[in-house]
A = this chain, B = another copy of it.
């Protein structure tokens, strides 16, 4: 598994979809080894431990794979919020710009 595949992080209790990021084989291996979600950052071109700068780690409770084996679903316990904007989920807006998510921290307090 060298190519990048999309990985959805979902809150394992509330079932809220928190974010979508990408994994390569190394990210998946590190996630399984450590129990904390790791992704491949396309913008920075490097492995990324979610929470490494914010402390908002994702404890991985279960890893699922889809029928075609080209997408991953992580069921996680999310520390703080998943989104760097301070919302619990990165999907905090409708496509028309209405805010529907919950803000759970102030980014300037965290980064």
Residues of A bordering B, CB below 8 Å:
6, 8, 10, 14-17, 19-20, 28, 32, 62-68, 71-73, 83-85, 87, 90-95, 100
Contact = CB atoms under 8 A, between A and B. Distances in A.
A90 B73 CA distance: 10
A91 B62 contact: no
The 9 closest A-B pairs by CB, nearest first: A15-B15, A20-B71, A66-B90, A64-B91, A63-B95, A73-B91, A67-B90, A6-B6, A65-B95
Contacts of A17: 8, 10, 15, 17, 73
A62 B19 contact: no
A108 to B, nearest CB: 16
A83 B73 CA distance: 15
Nearest to A63: B95
B94 A64 contact: yes
A67 B94 contact: no
Contacts of A32: 95
